[in-house]
Structure 1
Amino acid sequence: MTRTAPHLATLVLLTALTVLTLNMFLPALPAMQEAFGVSEQVIGQSISLYMAAAAVLQLILGPLSDRIGRRPVILGMLVIYVVASILCLLATDITVFLIARTAQAVAVGGGILSSAIVRDLYEGRGAAAKLSLIASAMAVAPMLAPMVGGAMEAAFGWNSIFMAYAGLGAALLLWCWRDLGETKASGGIAARGVSQLLGSALFWSYVGVQALGVGVFYIFLTGAPFVMVEFFGLGSAQTGLVLGSTTAGFLVGAGVSARIVERLGGMRLILFGRMLPVIGICAAWVYFAGGGVALWPLLCATLCVGFGNGLSIPSSAAGALSVQPELAGSASGLSGAAVLAMGAGLTAMATAVVGAQTTPATLLAVMGLVALGALASAGAARMLDKDVPARG
């Protein structure tokens, strides 16, 4: 089958499905708890089971797309997603709802396969530019989705959110049937190729840039609410604005990356994008360790984190997918699972450390150590990638 380039909007929407399915329903959790007559812990499984399934599915859907193609996997994923969303909408039993909700985790394929499709169609700097455009468009989704979900629940009830999921999935299914041709080159995958990918230090260096870079963001999101309330005395609304600072920085960084990566090259953006958070975090730590109490140095540090991630993550993702181009699906799934696993581990660590000593200096110290790890991974990628001039 010919390698047919889908519209960029198709890839953005497929990636958006992952984010929307995870967090648009969150404001409706109390209403759902009441509707099903269960405890907070039970309804909370709609998040934990979803994330666990998403981690496993990333390891399945990527390699499967390398074997049978991107198009059949995406179309099959969307069929399952629509059916699962309808079951969630109609469920009157919590067990049925949780099973269907867990099945919705197939949405994770939208993100990993969009990245693989970009690598199928573009190389090096071109792939990094397209991934940056997708990332900059997607940076808005985590901010808007809970607001939209909350408004829908207030106006029409929690079921309306799952009706929207089903409608969006059905619309995407029809659109992808029309717009998304097969982009993977003909030929299956060999076990030897997968083994080489798993054993590639270069691949894991690029993954380390992504996982540790995003990990700094997760640490901030986990520890900052405690610091905002206990140290700075902020309310929940003000805390929400502070938490949005990293997302704002990421949006700007990804936008800048999309504009300049083809001129400067991905490796330069990766290295600068990993240096900037280290510098910002260290400067803020020195301020708070010296007794400072103002909020703005922490905000500056988190803007550096977001901006640095926006610069470095799209190019590091393109680098990871370029190690074995014929295994872009497997590479995307593996890197996505690694990011999720790293995020879970670092979130638990941040909760323990910052919970024991709730100060900005403690939070920044943990963030700084992980940011240094991301910088080290970037340095390793630079040394290991012998084809940097060609790839950019």
Structure 2
Amino acid sequence: MTQSNSPVSPLQRWTAVWLLTGMTVLAVFPLDVVLPSFPALAAHFQRSPGDIAFSISLFAVSVALSQWVIGPLSDRMGRKRLLLTGIGVSVIGAIGCVHANDFIWFLFFRCMQAVGCGCFVVSQALIQDLFSGNQRDHLRILMVTVSGLAISLSPLAGTVLQEAFDWPGSFWAFICLAAVVWVSAWRQLKDTRPNVPPTQSILRAYGVVCRDATFMSYWLISGIAFACHFSFIVLSPLLFLEQLQLSSYTYSWILLLYGVAYLVGGLLAHRLSRRMSADAQIITGLLLMVFAGVLMFMLHALWGQTVFSVLMPMIVCTTGITIARPIATSRAMDVFPDLAGTASAAGSALIFMCGGAVSAVVNLSPVSLQDTLASAFIVLSLIALGLIWRISTHSAVSPPV
């Protein structure tokens, strides 16, 4: 969806940046703010911490599935109305979670909240609508950095909320933030006319984008990078709270330190985007992720499972993720600029499904969590390197159009 019929002023673009920042924060907030409440949730519903970790993976998969519908619809109906509706559904789901007395009902309302959060898939489409060229790359780097900082700060906020209001506190905080973003979107966004012919079905639109090997490869690289990050986030309460017996506050400060990697990665990605090609930048990030997996193996073998042996490799890995992921996303979104909603939904769904599937597999592994994480980083990063090699080879042998 383009804005050719209604040019966007610089002021409107910067206003959109603030809205996109709020959407980015709200998109990751319900995943991470609840992490310090794992023990309280397990006690309240009389379930194991592993079951609570499963609810996080289920949340990610539910977001992914809802995005498959929301993205293409935004190409037809406009971004604004779907965003406002989705935020409303997520708030209803959060309220249901607060009042759930049974774990099955909690999972049901958690899925409803996730379905509503699927509306944040339009953020990538809005970037494609309102920005161009290097602006898109730099904005996506900024969004990944903001996302990482929000991820790092959310557990600390969750700890404070847990201490003050017990586990429902994080859900009430989400409801308040969602209300702020809803009002901002209602005031700042304008409904736009779709570029997609109404006769083109959603399945046909997906057929167009998903048959493109370059598009799918770049999104899969982005999904692999996200899966490495998401696996650590989901398993971090088990590593630090259950196995290392750290306090919630110590755990929160550890994740805050982990967030430094997003700042470092964001700064490096911004500089590298001016000095090397997109594919070279992606390869640099993936090689850092491979190195992180090897480093995690080595430190675990030397010193066992400690805060340092887990956190140091994760800082390296996350730096690589922040360098590779936003550029891979931009290259994917540039393939189908007129189907930005569909393209964003297909890619975001792939990202969340990768994150949910990999985190579930790692959680079920009989091997130690640290070694399983290290193996996942190495294997997944090598797969991504194979994909970027395939893209480069295909581009080199394809005849010019």
Q: Do both share a fold (TM > 0.5)?
A: yes
Question: Offset at 1:234?
Answer: 5.0
What corresponds to 1:330 in structure 2? 342
Pair 1:375 & 2:385 matched:
yes
1:152 Cα offset (Å): 2.3
Indicate the residue corresponding to 2:142 in structure 1: 133
Aligned partner of 1:205 in structure 2 is 217
CA drift of 1:262 comes to 4.8
Q: 2:181 aligns with which of 165, 172, 193?
A: 172
Checking the alignment, whether the CA contact within 8 Å between 1:277 and 1:305 is kept in structure 2 is yes
Distance 1:252 1:219, change over 3 A: same
| Contact 2:60–2:353 under 8 Å retained in 1 | no
Question: Equivalent residue for 1:113?
Answer: 122
Match of 2:359 in 1: 347
- From 278, 281, 287, the equivalent of 1:269 is 281
Shift of 1:252: 1.6
Distance across 2 between alignment mates of 1:117 and 1:222? 28
Name the counterpart of 1:364: 374
Structure 1 residue 97: Cα displacement: 5.3
**Distance change (3 Å), C-alpha of 1:187 and 1:215:** closer
Q: 1:49 to 1:127 in 2, by over 3 A?
A: same
* Cα RMSD (Å): 3.7
1:281/1:301 contact within 8 Å kept: yes
Distance 2:354 2:58 in 1: 17
Whole-angstrom CA distance in 2 between matches of 1:280 and 1:150: 28
Deviation of 1:136 after TM superposition, in Å, equals 0.9
1:307 aligns with 2:319: yes
Residue-pair matches, total: 378
Correspondence 1:193-342 to 2 at 5 A: 193-220=205-232, 234-236=244-246, 247-262=259-274, 264-282=276-294, 285=297, 287=298, 292-293=302-303, 300-342=312-354
- CA distance in 2: counterparts of 1:274 and 1:96, whole angstroms: 40
Corresponding position of 1:8: 17
Aligned 8 A contact 1:3 1:181 in 2:
no
The CA deviation at 1:160 is 4.1
State the Cα distance separating 1:284 from its structure 2 match. 6.1
* 5+ long unaligned stretches in structure 2: 397-401
- Aligned equivalents of 1:49, 1:276: Cα separation in 2: 29
- Conserved in 2, the CA contact under 8 Å of 1:125 and 1:266? no
Deviations 1:336-372 (A, max 9, x none): 222222223323443455x335775x65344212211
1:39 equivalent to 2:46? Answer yes
Cα distance in 2 for partners of 1:49, 1:323 equals: 30
Residue 11 of structure 1, CA deviation:
0.5
| Structure 2: distance between partners of 1:86 and 1:218 | 25
Assess, with a 3 A threshold, how the Cα gap between structure 1 residues 359 and 217 changes in structure 2: closer, same or farther. closer
Distance 1:184 1:19, change over 3 A: farther
SS in 2 for 1:329: helix
| TM-score, scaled to structure 2 | 0.79
Tell me: CA distance 1:200–1:132, structure 2 relative to 1, closer, same or farther (3 Å): same
Identify which of 83, 87, 91 aligns with 1:74.
83
C-alpha offsets along residues 202-223 of structure 1, whole Å, 9 cap, x if unaligned? 0111022112222333455577
Q: Distance in 1 between matches of 2:163 and 2:292?
A: 40
How far apart in 2 are the matches of 1:156 and 1:358? 31
> Compared with structure 1, are the counterparts of its residues 161 and 359 closer, same or farther at alpha carbon in structure 2 (3 Å cutoff)?
closer
* Contact 1:133–1:255, Cα closer than 8 Å, also in 2: no
The 1:239–1:385 alpha-carbon spacing in structure 2 relative to 1, beyond 3 Å, is: farther
Q: Deviations over 1:147-189 (max 9, x none)?
A: 2233223224444443333222222221111112246763447
Deviation at 1:250, TM superposition (A): 3.0
Q: Contact conserved, 1:124 with 1:319, CA < 8 A, in 2?
A: no
Superposed CA deviations along residues 130-153 of structure 1, whole A, max 9, x for unmatched, are 011111112111222232233223
Question: What is the one-letter code of the residue matched to 2:356?
Answer: A
Name the TM-score, length of structure 1 as normaliser.
Answer: 0.80
Q: For residues 137-152 of structure 1, what are the structure 2 equivalents within 5 Å?
A: 137-152=146-161
Task: Tell me, in whole angstroms, the C-alpha distance in 2 between the residues paired with 1:100 and 1:284.
Answer: 37
- The share of aligned pairs that are identical, in percent, is 25
Indicate how the Cα distance of structure 1 residues 374 and 224 shifts in structure 2: closer, same or farther if over 3 A, else same.
Answer: farther
Could you tell me whether the CA contact under 8 Å between 2:90 and 2:117 is conserved in 1? no
